[in-house]
Structure 1
Amino acid sequence: MPDLMDVDTESPRGTKRKADDVSLEVSAPRRIRALDPDVVNKIAAGEIIVAPVHALKELIENAVDAGSTSLEVLVKEGGLKLLQITDNGHGIAKEDLPILCERFTTSKLKEFEDLSSIGTYGFRGEALASISHIAHLTVTTKTKDSNCAWRANYDSGKLIPAKPGQSADPKPTAGRQGTQITVEDLFYNVPTRRRAFRSASEEYNKILDVVGRYAVHCEGVAFSCKKHGEAGTTISTQSNASTLDKIRQIHGSAVANEMIEFTSSDERWGYKARGWTTNANYHVKRTTLLLFINHRSVDSTNIRKAIEQTYSTFLPKGGHPFTYISLEIDPQRVDVNVHPTKREVNFLNEDEIIEKVCGDIRVKLANVDVSRTFMTQTLLPGVRVPSSKAGQDDGDTSTGNAGPVATPKQRPYENNLVRTDAKIRKITSMLPPSASKGGAETSSSGPDRQGDAEYEYSDRELVTYRLLTIKGLRAEVRDAMHNELTEVFASHTFVGVVDERRRLAAIQGGVKLYLVDYGMISNEYFYQVGLTDFGNFGAIRFDPPLNLRELLSLAAEHEKTSTPATTEEEDFDVQDVVDTVATQLIERRDMLLEYFSLEISEEGELISIPLLVKGYTPSLAKLPRFLLRLGPHVNWKGEKECFDTFLRELASFYVPEQLPPTPGPGDSKEDGDDTIKARRQDVIRAIEHVLFPAFRARLIATKSLMNRGVVEVANLKGLYRVFERC
């Protein structure tokens, strides 16, 4: 019988051991040591300043706490190179500058009990201290009573001299009342954190989001934000602007036009809420929630889910609202000291308050929901509404809100009758078919045919780019708009393609018939699509990827043989041109992918090109020439010129190809008859069922199109005058 006191030397269950292990070795415990203060401070800084946007949020809150009525934000390289905020608040006393960047130094707290009634944005005293440990920090400040401004430089929480050999004490300088905080080279001593940021534009968009949130919420405070080196501002709001006006300036008229104001309060739960939210006429794919609790921008998953649930009965499936809520709760019911960045707060009776606020929003939506707005097609100019009783000759009775009203029915003149339905018989239906088999092939082409393309939907979120260059190019299009021609395209009826080689088509606008150059119209339309959907294009992917240099070689060789050089200067070496253009595109592949969905691998493989319109694929025979022209015909030096010339080349690539005209009965059979016939059918189908409906929906016709791309060929009233004379 074994001794009960024997120790079981087997490994505990769940412990992996090697076969030759006999016993578990226990190493000596490590001694506990205090961390170096510099390591402690860097750890604390990493908890508070995770990205440039977090540093900016802390600085904005400090500026508003200082009584500022104007805040100016300057950003370079997404805030990593430069982040500067200038305010006109009460400033910082010179005597406080030596301890300004030490941890837990604040003017807003004295005792722990003060946390129960805190009413300011900042109170922990860690923001500037954290920034000074991971960036070069400069503070320039002037109080109302000071004769001059004082400038101080900080590193690791301590004053440092501006230049080696100088004193670290603050230096007098010229300056206006308020404080200017300059943060340079953020995360310069934390290289792993700095390398984690993907792009400067993404960080700048996050900064714009935070500035926009506080600009909407802070009453009586003007905000501006711009990139370093640019003259114009990306965001600019006035101090006397209303909340709705600021929402319009930052988020656009599409949101502001559908906003309703709401309020909610309950003394039992100790809260008051106010805000603006969209009605049932507006919805997007993702909820936008601007939430402020006791004037601090925070996130709340519970509130977001409750609002989405409230709107689920008012919006279609997949639709989400835009909501701004300012929630004021009794400070004694709120615990703000939860998260180092103060992104989260806890408060008592959270479920009851959320339910009451959402209930009041639901009541507002129900009251507005009695009247809904739907987009409908308007009648063509000059067309009368058809009567409900076509058999009456002497009068007609129409019923409205005021009851039956007798209106005389006038017989319309024939010269005002127009065809308004594109589905009824057209001129092309009166022409005899060219061949029996051609009729069979034509019947297979219809509005739903899209070739062999297969579409997949990605989860990529819509990115809003507030680049001044794109705004400027859009403004140039609007300034060049021809109002009458835009109205014609917005309400036109497609008649048919007249000439595929000259790219001519006929459309009817009102009682007029127009001959339009659909190549020129398409060029302008795709350019405008490029500006409108900038940075959010779809992608046409190639499987397997195409060899970029081979495509460029095809285009360069064709260019050299088709247009022989007349002088030595015009002559060029194909390989040199291919290498130059390929190098340019590969070096700029990150920018091309982010802004234009043009993906090129580092090895020179073409993976995808932009998709501008679903249901229409440009002629891939034009792809080599398009890629070749991106080298010499795109201005890569200036941002505005680069975007403009690239989108012009992209629009030219998307213009339908020119094809030989349809042969007549006596003409000989064309080369590649079946291939050209199939391509012609695809082009005609795309023009009628994709492009011209797209022109109707969103084309801004410019004055240049009126001068060169559109010709009036017939006017129904003028034809009637000719017939009357006959």
Structure 2
Amino acid sequence: MDSAAAETPLRGSKRKAEEALPQAPKRIKALDQDVVNKIAAGEIIVAPVHALKELIENAVDAGSTSLEIVVKDGGLKLLQITDNGHGINRDDMAILCERFTTSKLKTFEDLTTIGTYGFRGEALASISHIAHLTITTKTADSSCAWRAHYADGKLTPAKPGQNADPKPIAGRGGTQITVEDLFYNVPSRKRAFRSPSEEYAKILDVVGRYAVHCTGVAFSCKKHADSATSISIPVNATTVDSIRHIYGSAVANELLQFAVSDQKWGFKASGWASNANYHVKKTTILLFINHRSVESSAVKKAIEQLYSAFLPKGGHPFVYLSLDIDPQRVDVNIHPTKREVNFLNEDEIIESICTAVHEQLTQVDTSRTFTTQSLLPSSTRPPGATNASSTAKSTQARAKTQTPARPYENNLVRTDPNVRKITSMLPSSTAGPTTSNPSAPNAGGPQYRHAPRERTDCNLITIKHLRATVRSAMHAGLTEIFASHTYVGLVDPLRRIVAIQSGVKLFLVDYGLISQEYFYQLGLANFGNFGAITFEAPLDIRALVRLGVDKARELEAEAETMPPEEWDAVPEQVTRQLIERRDMLREYFNLDVSERGELITLPLLLKGYTPSLAKLPRFLMRLGPCVEWDDEAACFESFLRELARFYTLEQLPPYPSAAPAQAQKDNANEVDMEGAAQTEGGEEMVGKRQDMERVLEHVLFPALKARLVASQDLLRGVIEVADLKGLYRVFERC
């Protein structure tokens, strides 16, 4: 044994008597104030998302109606929030970032009646100890804005040698807080963050929660130097609109509203919960207690147990719950980040809320949407075939609580599409075919069946960016027109024009342009979860592309854009490209291609509508040169654009004219349907137009009403042709 080992007693060996004597206790000393501040800052600002949450709450407390958030490197490099609130007085800026400075508390008893988000005055102080903090603010009565820099809770000069006092600058009303280099002096905390994208996702989650809850407040959040915003909620958005923008139309279209209150337990609750037709792999609960975003394992467990009786195994719901409790029953001061609260009668309140949600779920019938379709490759349809669905959603009649005031005559418009239509007053020979019963099955239509494929959540950055681009280009007024419209009728099938009514105005709509954008958005929303159009017998892709090439060569014969040998090579090139990417096409788009170059399935976008198979050769031909296969984002966008072009309704000529003898007999140039059906191609054309009218009125435009996000580019496809109030002004002069 060496000397070093001999000096160290082995475990279990006896010690000498003098070694067993107790040593003098160490003296207790007060920690350095800098250490105290950093410990407190570490408890409150655990991650960039916690700093942003504190800043959002301060901005809402200040009466802001607009919040703009800019993030760089997940908030570690830059975190900036700009609001239009009351601002901060110039005289208060000296102590603004000192600990326990607040305008919301005076005595400890004020905690029992606290009604604001922040109250302890620790947020800005904590941030200033672990980041470079800059605040620019302007009040309504100030002639200019003031900018100040802070470090360790004190004012600090912007550059060494300068004065630390706030500097007057030009600025708008409100406050802008800029946090740079978060955790620059706490390297161990900074190294703990795995990736900026993960932190940015947490920031988007918090911003989304407050955007849903804070109605009347506009929210926008984006990455630094990016032109597109990740979240953009207008100030007039409703709760459901905000949920649709942030969490998607899939959940927004399946929400049930609930409300419950009880004076005995001193609470009232309201919110929105998904019905039995929607489920995901992870429970999403937006819980606000006294307008404070919190977490509660008890609430989550109770809701999951409630939905277990309605959802399939592994399915979880979406719930937004706003719970107002008597402030004297709530303790908000139990967690440094205010993430948790305690309140009295927790079990009774949760039970009342679950009962209210359960009543809503049991009163509404829902059905599973079908995901696959069987379709014969031939143009002829078997007689007697009908559309099939498991069950139809039943709508619940809501009784009016108050008798509405009688509107003026110039505001009386038809808003119920089920009431008598003008076409029912016209003779059948002139009105053309109409579908009187919207629920009547389409003779010869496709049959739907279930598929075992499970729905997956798409987390691809490129798809999220494409969805954000669509939302950022939204035209609010045009979107509202489609969301509240009433379908009037088909005007011109050749120019693809229909008439719709919104409010007291009548519009002509280019449904070709509108439907192409809608099918593109539908492809983004259902990316990776498409249904399938299954052919009874696989189709030869080379033969189909060859048909498309022959048609394209006829159209471009005079232009001679390509030599003949290049045209002849197109079918083989396109087929080879599709075979090489068959795994990706099957996984993301449900477009199944065999190894021999046969087309097995096509993506199904909209139940109740089958695209014209006459456009299939051109669609397959364009997948070669018109899809950017080498770039992920460009590939997804261009493929979905081509798919939307394929799904866009085709142009059809008007009804064929009647025979001359029949026209003379009618003496009014009326169309005789029987005579038209006997002409060459007349019967097929009449059938196509009947099917198109059914699809437009009962499939496409109800779908547009539910989920279309109308962009600025769609303005050229909508023309206002009549305004009821304007017509009243004209006829009043007569």
Matched, 1:315 2:311: yes
Question: Partners in 1 of 2:332 and 2:198 — Cα distance?
Answer: 29
Deviation, 1:472, is: 7.6
CA contact (8 A) 2:374 2:448 kept: no
Deviation, 1:165, is: 0.8
CA contact (8 A) 1:72 1:87 kept: yes
Q: How does 1:399-410 map to 2 (within 5 A)?
A: none
Q: Residues 236-262 of structure 1, C-alpha deviation per residue, up to 9 Å, x if partnerless?
A: 001111100110011110010101110
- Letter paired with 2:141: D
1:187 to 177, 183, 205: 183
Matched, 1:171 2:213: no
Q: How does 1:106-505 map to 2 (within 5 A)?
A: 106-368=102-364, 370-375=365-370, 377=372, 380=375, 383=381, 386=384, 463=459, 465=461, 469-471=465-467, 491-496=533-538, 498=540
2:600 to 685, 692, 707: 692
Q: How does 1:52-131 map to 2 (within 5 A)?
A: 52-131=48-127
Judged with a 3 Å threshold, the aligned counterparts in structure 2 of structure 1 residues 162 and 703 are, in CA distance, closer, same or farther, namely: farther
Question: Partners in 2 of 1:183 and 1:96 — Cα distance?
Answer: 19
Q: Residues 558-612 of structure 1, C-alpha deviation per residue, up to 9 Å, x if partnerless?
A: xxxxxxxxxxxxxxxxxxxxxxxxxxxxxxxxxxxxxxxxxxxxxxxxxxxxxx9
Judged with a 3 Å threshold, the aligned counterparts in structure 2 of structure 1 residues 519 and 705 are, in CA distance, closer, same or farther, namely: farther
Question: Partners in 2 of 1:522 and 1:474 — Cα distance?
Answer: 31
Deviation, 1:277, is: 0.7
Partner of 2:619: 705
Aligned-partner SS, 1:86: strand
Judged with a 3 Å threshold, the aligned counterparts in structure 2 of structure 1 residues 387 and 302 are, in CA distance, closer, same or farther, namely: same
Judged with a 3 Å threshold, the aligned counterparts in structure 2 of structure 1 residues 139 and 489 are, in CA distance, closer, same or farther, namely: closer
Partner of 2:13: 19
Q: Residues 474-493 of structure 1, C-alpha deviation per residue, up to 9 Å, x if partnerless?
A: 9999769799x9xx995351
Judged with a 3 Å threshold, the aligned counterparts in structure 2 of structure 1 residues 131 and 280 are, in CA distance, closer, same or farther, namely: same
Deviation, 1:95, is: 0.4
CA contact (8 A) 1:287 1:321 kept: yes
Deviation, 1:375, is: 1.5
- Letter paired with 1:46: G
Partner of 2:653: none
Aligned-partner SS, 1:338: coil
Question: Partners in 1 of 2:617 and 2:60 — Cα distance?
Answer: 48
- Letter paired with 1:224: S
CA contact (8 A) 1:216 1:247 kept: yes
CA contact (8 A) 1:237 1:246 kept: yes
Aligned-partner SS, 1:60: helix
Q: Please report the TM-score for the alignment, with normalisation by the length of structure 1.
A: 0.59
Question: Partners in 1 of 2:586 and 2:184 — Cα distance?
Answer: 40
- Letter paired with 1:211: V
Question: Partners in 2 of 1:314 and 1:345 — Cα distance?
Answer: 30
CA contact (8 A) 2:80 2:178 kept: yes
- Letter paired with 2:156: I
Question: Partners in 1 of 2:153 and 2:469 — Cα distance?
Answer: 46
Deviation, 1:317, is: 0.8
CA contact (8 A) 1:224 1:233 kept: yes
CA contact (8 A) 2:546 2:617 kept: no
CA contact (8 A) 2:255 2:272 kept: yes
- Letter paired with 2:92: D
Judged with a 3 Å threshold, the aligned counterparts in structure 2 of structure 1 residues 271 and 366 are, in CA distance, closer, same or farther, namely: same
Q: Please report the TM-score for the alignment, with normalisation by the length of structure 2.
A: 0.58
CA contact (8 A) 1:68 1:88 kept: yes
Question: Partners in 2 of 1:420 and 1:274 — Cα distance?
Answer: 42
Matched, 1:40 2:36: yes
Question: Partners in 1 of 2:616 and 2:182 — Cα distance?
Answer: 46
Deviation, 1:328, is: 0.3
Question: Partners in 1 of 2:271 and 2:372 — Cα distance?
Answer: 34
Question: Partners in 2 of 1:422 and 1:223 — Cα distance?
Answer: 41
Judged with a 3 Å threshold, the aligned counterparts in structure 2 of structure 1 residues 527 and 318 are, in CA distance, closer, same or farther, namely: closer
Q: Residues 370-416 of structure 1, C-alpha deviation per residue, up to 9 Å, x if partnerless?
A: 3434316557587467389xxxxxxxxxxxx9xxxxxxxxxxxxxx9
Deviation, 1:494, is: 4.8
Judged with a 3 Å threshold, the aligned counterparts in structure 2 of structure 1 residues 89 and 696 are, in CA distance, closer, same or farther, namely: closer
Deviation, 1:162, is: 0.7
User: Structure 1 vs Structure 2: percent identity of aligned residues?
Assistant: 58
CA contact (8 A) 2:269 2:353 kept: yes
- Letter paired with 1:93: N
Question: Partners in 2 of 1:340 and 1:50 — Cα distance?
Answer: 10
Judged with a 3 Å threshold, the aligned counterparts in structure 2 of structure 1 residues 338 and 522 are, in CA distance, closer, same or farther, namely: farther
Question: Partners in 2 of 1:343 and 1:358 — Cα distance?
Answer: 22
Question: Partners in 1 of 2:359 and 2:293 — Cα distance?
Answer: 26
Aligned-partner SS, 1:75: strand
CA contact (8 A) 1:139 1:153 kept: yes
Aligned-partner SS, 2:600: helix
Judged with a 3 Å threshold, the aligned counterparts in structure 2 of structure 1 residues 279 and 504 are, in CA distance, closer, same or farther, namely: same
CA contact (8 A) 1:65 1:121 kept: yes
- Letter paired with 2:331: D
CA contact (8 A) 1:149 1:174 kept: yes
Question: Partners in 1 of 2:309 and 2:443 — Cα distance?
Answer: 44
Judged with a 3 Å threshold, the aligned counterparts in structure 2 of structure 1 residues 40 and 300 are, in CA distance, closer, same or farther, namely: same
Question: Partners in 1 of 2:46 and 2:292 — Cα distance?
Answer: 18
Runs of 5+ consecutive residues of structure 2 not aligned to the other structure? 1-8, 387-393, 395-441, 474-514, 524-529, 548-570, 625-645, 647-676, 682-734
Aligned-partner SS, 1:188: coil
CA contact (8 A) 1:263 1:360 kept: yes
Runs of 5+ consecutive residues of structure 1 not aligned to the other structure? 1-14, 389-400, 402-415, 424-446, 449-456, 508-514, 534-611, 617-654, 657-682, 722-726
CA contact (8 A) 1:86 1:179 kept: yes
Question: Partners in 2 of 1:109 and 1:233 — Cα distance?
Answer: 36
Partner of 1:552: none
Judged with a 3 Å threshold, the aligned counterparts in structure 2 of structure 1 residues 419 and 154 are, in CA distance, closer, same or farther, namely: closer
Question: Partners in 2 of 1:168 and 1:704 — Cα distance?
Answer: 69
Judged with a 3 Å threshold, the aligned counterparts in structure 2 of structure 1 residues 17 and 202 are, in CA distance, closer, same or farther, namely: same
Aligned-partner SS, 2:178: strand
Judged with a 3 Å threshold, the aligned counterparts in structure 2 of structure 1 residues 522 and 182 are, in CA distance, closer, same or farther, namely: farther
Judged with a 3 Å threshold, the aligned counterparts in structure 2 of structure 1 residues 480 and 307 are, in CA distance, closer, same or farther, namely: closer
Question: Partners in 2 of 1:132 and 1:202 — Cα distance?
Answer: 24
Aligned-partner SS, 2:211: helix
